[in-house]
A and B are shown apart, each in its own frame.
Chain A
Amino acid sequence: MIQIQNLTKCFENETALSDITLTIPDGEVFGLIGTNGAGKSTLLRILSGVLRQDEGSVRVDGEAVWENEKVKQTIAFIPDEAYFFPNATPREMAAFFAAARDAFDFERFEDLTRRLKLDPARPIRTFSKGMKKQLAVILGLSTGAKYLLCDETFDGLDPVMRQAVKSLFAGDMVERGLTPVIASHNLRELEDICDRVGLLHKGGILLSEELAGMKQKLHKIQCVIPDAEKEKEMLTALSPLRTVRQGQLMMLTVRGTREELLRTVDAAEPVFSEILPLSLEEIFIGETEAIGYEVRDILG
């Protein structure tokens, strides 16, 4: 389990992460979502032991990560732009990782390159961006690390390959209890794979919950309320995160369970009402708009 307590990280005069407290349980896929510059990559780099936090603690299975060889053996970091040595082949990169990681599995590496149709003897410089991403994933999985930290790993992969990688993750989770931590902007991808999501915004954590539970607590309501007074009472009771009107049709993003919301809406005697679950993307937009990060503001 990864436990982050009051984590703060500053770069010169900029605060990248501020007082983050987060727990990532074992055996689940943890999605790290956030606005641009929210600190997702910074958090992953701290988790992997590349960066050192200014304040707070990061513990993996109860031990601090920084300069801890034993703990770092259990963590593999796949950065947004993985570096490969000039003129190196996938096999040479594997040899490099194998020299530093006692659990590196060459057979797994050979097997994965065969399955993903990557030539392990071909110079990496001749690979496309997507192929390099695949190689980074293969190397990460071959390390045998318990925690796989992926920074925008699915970007650049074609849909078929995304599914293949997801399958690999799922297989490793079942077989050896892999815990992938995936930072991404692609919320639809995360929605399919993540069990739990952490939402970062401007260096702070907005929420961290199970995705299913999150979806049960946040809903979208479409309704038409003929009585203005009752509509006002309903809005006061619901405190919507987001309100959009199209003629008489009102679309609200609100917190609460489906039953609670149904009771409140019915009390307003609507001529039409519907309660829908939110997608992860809508949850993200709703939560960030609630704290003033609106698309309208960005576009002016």
Chain B
Amino acid sequence: MKSGISWGKLLHQFWKRQTWVFALSCTGAFLSWPVLFMMQLSNLEETYARQGYRLPLKEWLSRAVCNSLGSGMHGCVIAFGAVVVAVLAAWCGFAALHSREKTDLLHGLPVRREKVFALKTVIAALDIAVPAAAGCLCVLILAAARGLMSGELIAAALRAACVCFVYGMATWATAALAMLLTGQLLVGALGTAVLVGIGPLLALLCKSYAETFYSTYYPASRFTEGALWRYTSPVLGALYAAASGSPLLPAAALTVLLLALALAVYRIRPSEAAGRAMAFRLPAEGIAVVLCFTGAIASGIFFRTAGWTQSDPWFVFGLCFGLALVWAVVRVIYTMDIRRVFTHGATLALAAALTCAFAAYFRLDLAGFDAYLPVRDSVRSIAVLPGAEYEMLDSSVKWQSRLEHTGLGCDDALYAFLTKLTAEHEKNGDGSTELPDNGKPTDYRVPVVVRVELENGRWYTRCYWMRFSDVSEEMASLYGREAYLDALYPIRKLEDEAVGGLSVESSCGRSDPLTLRYDREAIGRILAALREDCLTLTPESVKTQAPAAVIHADLDLSPLGLETDRTAWIDEEGNPERYIWSESLIVWPGFTHTIAAIEAAGIEIGAHPSANSIREVTVYDNGQEETETFTDRETLEKLAPRMVIREAVTRWMRIQTDCFASAALRTGQGFMEYQDFMLLEDN
């Protein structure tokens, strides 16, 4: 009896050796698809019953699960499970190459390496795709049984399965690459961690160095932040894709490239590498250089920022220590011989040189980052957001969005302002350790963030810390521009229907977001007052007083041609593609009409909480790490005028001691949870 050779038989035989990975994948898929789906449904039904949304239950549930699966928590859990399975499949698939006996068996077979690799790839694809497809089907069946089936849900489930597959295979290829580059299982596992983590780590370190050493550095953009996650690591990319709904085609292309690279490495990998730490000598030294360089710069920035002084000697110590430590660890792993720790001096020298060059580049600002000023003709548009607005926006995403639509073109006045910012900043530095004159808030520093678009399509952002008196004239000019006010207060150009729920945050805490959600009349009154009040904005009005409140509004900016890419966002009411952007609008003490409208809606507002509304105050002094709690009326009355909410006063931080207060505030129902405040100095 003769047996014929076939792909099917080989696949079956190879697959049999790692059925546990498939079993694990099935278990994970079962838990992360149908089980998590049902758990989510239970929670959502409870939430619905508690909140009393206006949408019918099934419609609301359908949208909620859709959102969670397509770009939310459920999708993330599924993607993470796929990534774990992919790593295990790669380790299991290529572990044979780390043992001489197993290698003899595998490579003694009359099967070309390309075929072996293809078989392993198919098995990994099946390990990832089959359970995901089954899980996806289960979810759709369950959804149909509960009457939640919709086209959007099918699309979201299929997308989640695609994210699983695409990023699972990318992770598999990365882990396989690590296994192929190494010759021991433990080193292979470490190698996987390195390949998966080194990209984001290096990117984060670059960002950290820029933040530390460039005084005008400002986080670049959503795209850059997203790219940091998406393209530097398949694992982080999977989570990002699952959470953001980003397109999968680039990831699929990268996956194919990674697979091709892994195959190329496998074809030239020497079988005798089994048992050695690293399979290839030259790449091993390259990896050693990268690891040492990364360790050194990470250690350098850690030692520089760990202490309060941020001194250069500690920075240098950190660089040297990190370099030596990582080098020693890498050498011991490579050779398993502690006596050979400091061999390969040339590689060490290269790592040291790279480290020095990198550190000097940032520390000495060799690129002239802080002093950069484009020539007038090359600037297309300049967007400026000074001081207080900067601090009101609680995320760089919001800030970037605001910047993107506050571009005012580039006239002589704006370019002169940019020139002044650059020159004054050069002269004054960031002033981060400088106290204001006499500790009084008469000439404090404010951050002025600019976004400059160039004629060649490129753009950059900077944050200049300026004395208020130096920029007040330019700020007055900005506030006088209609276009600028439209950008700061987009509600000026929007109909009331474009505004969803809104909540108010003041020194008395944050109102329940639901308070005003369905009171369209109250919302209309507040918006009308705000549109009127924002015309009174002057530098003086924002200079001397803390904001009275911040309105957080869900806005549909699409009528303005903005933020149309955020259609996946669904508000709690279940109105997708409508209230797509949560905007923070500042209410200054001079906005009397707005404050009156808010108070008429039943929301207490004020620059400071009244002493009567406070039960107790706990004061924290970060400098001394001590706390003290006050409950007596006399002390509370003294403290109340000094208390401002954190967000409303962050711009004051540079003139404050690091004192915070946590107060229990009285509400209509009794005392609400503790609210944090900044504590102004007692002048």
Contact: A102 with B2, CB < 8 Å? yes
* CB neighbours of A99 from chain B (8 A): 3, 5-6, 9-10, 12-13
Nearest neighbor of A110 in chain B, beta-carbon distance: B1
Nearest neighbor of B281 in chain A, beta-carbon distance: A12
* CB neighbours of B225 from chain A (8 A): none
* CB neighbours of A104 from chain B (8 A): 2-3
Cα–Cα distance between A48 and B106 once the two chains are bound (Å): 11
Assess whether B108 is interfacial by the CB under 8 Å rule.
yes
Q: What 0/1 readout, one digit per residue, does chain B (79-92) give for beta carbons within 8 Å of chain A?
A: 00000000000000
Min C-beta distance of B14 to chain A, whole Å: 9
- Which chain A residues in 91-107 approach chain B with CB under 8 Å? 95-107
Assess whether A40 is interfacial by the CB under 8 Å rule.
no
- Which chain A residues in 107-137 approach chain B with CB under 8 Å? 107
* CB neighbours of A83 from chain B (8 A): 99, 101-102, 104-105
Assess whether A72 is interfacial by the CB under 8 Å rule.
yes
Q: If the complex has contacts A50-B104, A50-B271, are A67 and B113 also in contact, measured as CB distance less than 8 A? A: yes
Please indicate which of the listed interface residues A12, A76, A98 has the most CB atoms of chain B within 10 Å of its own CB.
A98
Assess whether B561 is interfacial by the CB under 8 Å rule.
no
Cα–Cα distance between A15 and B617 once the two chains are bound (Å): 78
Contact: B109 with A100, CB < 8 Å? yes
Min C-beta distance of A103 to chain B, whole Å: 7
* CB neighbours of A105 from chain B (8 A): 1-2
Nearest neighbor of A70 in chain B, beta-carbon distance: B110
Contact: B5 with A67, CB < 8 Å? no
Min C-beta distance of A60 to chain B, whole Å: 12
* CB neighbours of B221 from chain A (8 A): none
Assess whether B272 is interfacial by the CB under 8 Å rule.
yes
Contact: B108 with A98, CB < 8 Å? no
Range for the number of chain A residues in contact with chain B = 35 or more
Cα–Cα distance between A95 and B102 once the two chains are bound (Å): 17
* CB neighbours of A76 from chain B (8 A): 108
Assess whether B346 is interfacial by the CB under 8 Å rule.
no
- Which chain A residues in 1-59 approach chain B with CB under 8 Å? 11-12, 45, 48-52
Contact: A101 with B5, CB < 8 Å? yes
Cα–Cα distance between A83 and B17 once the two chains are bound (Å): 13
Contact: A50 with B13, CB < 8 Å? no
Q: How many residues of B contact A (CB 8 A)?
A: 28
Cα–Cα distance between A49 and B636 once the two chains are bound (Å): 85
Cα–Cα distance between A218 and B102 once the two chains are bound (Å): 42
Cα–Cα distance between A52 and B269 once the two chains are bound (Å): 10
Assess whether B111 is interfacial by the CB under 8 Å rule.
yes
Q: Count of A-B contacts with CB under 8 A?
A: 82
* CB neighbours of A12 from chain B (8 A): 281
Cα–Cα distance between A73 and B5 once the two chains are bound (Å): 11
Contact: A100 with B104, CB < 8 Å? no
* CB neighbours of A49 from chain B (8 A): 107-108, 110
Cα–Cα distance between A67 and B113 once the two chains are bound (Å): 7
Assess whether B112 is interfacial by the CB under 8 Å rule.
yes
Contact: A103 with B109, CB < 8 Å? no
Cα–Cα distance between A105 and B105 once the two chains are bound (Å): 18
Q: If the complex has contacts A104-B3, A106-B3, are A51 and B13 also in contact, measured as CB distance less than 8 A? A: no
Q: Out of B5, B12, B101, B112, which one reaches A102, CB within 8 Å?
A: B5
Min C-beta distance of A147 to chain B, whole Å: 12
Contact: A72 with B109, CB < 8 Å? yes
Cα–Cα distance between A217 and B104 once the two chains are bound (Å): 38
Contact: A69 with B3, CB < 8 Å? no
Contact: B105 with A82, CB < 8 Å? yes
Contact: A77 with B101, CB < 8 Å? no
Q: If the complex has contacts A99-B5, A100-B5, are A82 and B101 also in contact, measured as CB distance less than 8 A? A: yes
Contact: B5 with A50, CB < 8 Å? no
- Which chain A residues in 243-278 approach chain B with CB under 8 Å? none
Cα–Cα distance between A81 and B108 once the two chains are bound (Å): 13
Assess whether A85 is interfacial by the CB under 8 Å rule.
yes
Contact: B272 with A51, CB < 8 Å? yes
Min C-beta distance of A67 to chain B, whole Å: 5
Cα–Cα distance between A104 and B3 once the two chains are bound (Å): 6
Assess whether B401 is interfacial by the CB under 8 Å rule.
no
Cα–Cα distance between A97 and B10 once the two chains are bound (Å): 9
Assess whether B668 is interfacial by the CB under 8 Å rule.
no
Min C-beta distance of B23 to chain A, whole Å: 15
* CB neighbours of B270 from chain A (8 A): 51-52
- Which chain B residues in 573-621 approach chain A with CB under 8 Å? none
Assess whether A156 is interfacial by the CB under 8 Å rule.
no
* CB neighbours of B110 from chain A (8 A): 49, 69-73, 75, 100-101
Contact: A67 with B3, CB < 8 Å? no
Min C-beta distance of B7 to chain A, whole Å: 10
Q: Out of A51, A67, A96, which one reaches B112, CB within 8 Å?
A: A67
Cα–Cα distance between A85 and B13 once the two chains are bound (Å): 11
Please indicate which of the listed interface residues B3, B4, B103, B108 has the most CB atoms of chain A within 10 Å of its own CB.
B108
Q: Out of B13, B104, B111, which one reaches A45, CB within 8 Å?
A: B104
For the A-B complex with A49-B108, A104-B2 known, give 5 more contacts whose Cβ atoms are closer than 8 Å: A45-B271, A77-B108, A83-B105, A98-B3, A101-B3
Task: Supply 18 A–B pairs (Cβ within 8 Å), ascending by A.
Answer: A45-B104, A50-B103, A50-B108, A67-B113, A70-B110, A72-B109, A77-B108, A79-B108, A82-B101, A83-B101, A83-B104, A83-B105, A99-B5, A99-B6, A100-B5, A100-B10, A104-B3, A107-B1
| Minimum-distance CB pairs A-B, first 8 | A72-B110, A83-B101, A99-B9, A98-B3, A100-B109, A99-B13, A102-B5, A73-B110
